[in-house]
Amino acid sequence: MYHKFYPHNKMTDIIHHDQSLLLIITRFGLNLGFGDKTVAEVCEQNNIDSTTFLRILNFLGNDNFKQTQVFDDVSLPSVISFLRNSHSYFLDFKLPSIRKKLVSAVSNQKSEIDYSKIYLKFFDDYVREVKKHMAYENKTVFPYALSLIEGDVQTVYNIGIYKKKHHEIDSTLAELKNILIKYFPDKGDNYLLTEVLFDILSCEKELNLHNRVEDYFFSPAIEALEKHLFVK
What single DSSP character describes residue 20? Answer: G
Alpha helical stretches, state H, the chain: 11-17, 22-26, 39-45, 50-60, 76-88, 95-107, 115-136, 142-149, 159-165, 171-183, 190-213, 219-230
Same domain, 83 and 152: yes
Is 2 within the bounds of a domain? no
- Quick one: pLDDT at residue 96? 97
Q: Is residue 209 part of a domain?
A: yes
The strand pairing partners of 10, in sequence order, are 38
Do 108 and 188 fall within a single domain?
A: yes
Could you give the C-alpha distances from 146 to 31, 62, 149, 221, in angstroms and in order? Answer: 26, 29, 5, 12
Q: How many folded domains does the chain comprise? A: 2
Let me know whether 169 and 207 are in one domain.
Answer: yes
pTM for the whole structure:
0.87
pLDDT tens for the 232 residues of the chain, in order? 456 899 999 999 999 998 889 989 999 999 999 999 999 999 999 999 999 999 999 888 876 655 455 556 789 999 999 999 999 999 999 999 999 998 888 776 666 666 778 888 889 988 998 999 999 999 999 999 999 988 887 767 888 888 777 665 656 677 778 877 887 666 656 788 888 889 988 988 888 889 889 988 899 888 888 888 876 5
pLDDT value at residue 117:
81
Q: Same domain, yes or no, for 54 and 81? A: no
- Is the Cβ–Cβ distance between 187 and 109 less than 8 Å? yes
49 alpha-carbon distance from chain centroid: 19
* Residue 115, domain member (yes or no): yes
In a domain, 144, yes or no: yes
Residues 112 and 41 in one domain: no
Chain-centre distance of CA 158, in angstroms?
22
The one-character DSSP state at 112 is S
pLDDT of amino acid 192: 83
On whether both 90 and 53 belong to a single domain, the answer is no
In a domain, 196, yes or no: yes
Residue 204 lies in a domain: yes
Instruction: Judge whether 84 lies within some domain.
Output: yes
DSSP state of 67: T
Do 40 and 81 have their domain in common? no
Q: Are residues 151 and 41 in the same domain?
A: no
Domain with 94, as residue range(s), is 76-230
> Same domain, yes or no, for 84 and 174?
yes
* Same domain for 190 and 138: yes
On whether both 114 and 35 belong to a single domain, the answer is no
156 falls within a domain: yes
Q: Residues 54, 117: one domain? A: no
Q: How far is CA 129 from the centre of its chain?
A: 14
> Residue 30: its pLDDT value, please?
92
Backbone angles phi, psi at 105, to 5 degrees: -70, -35
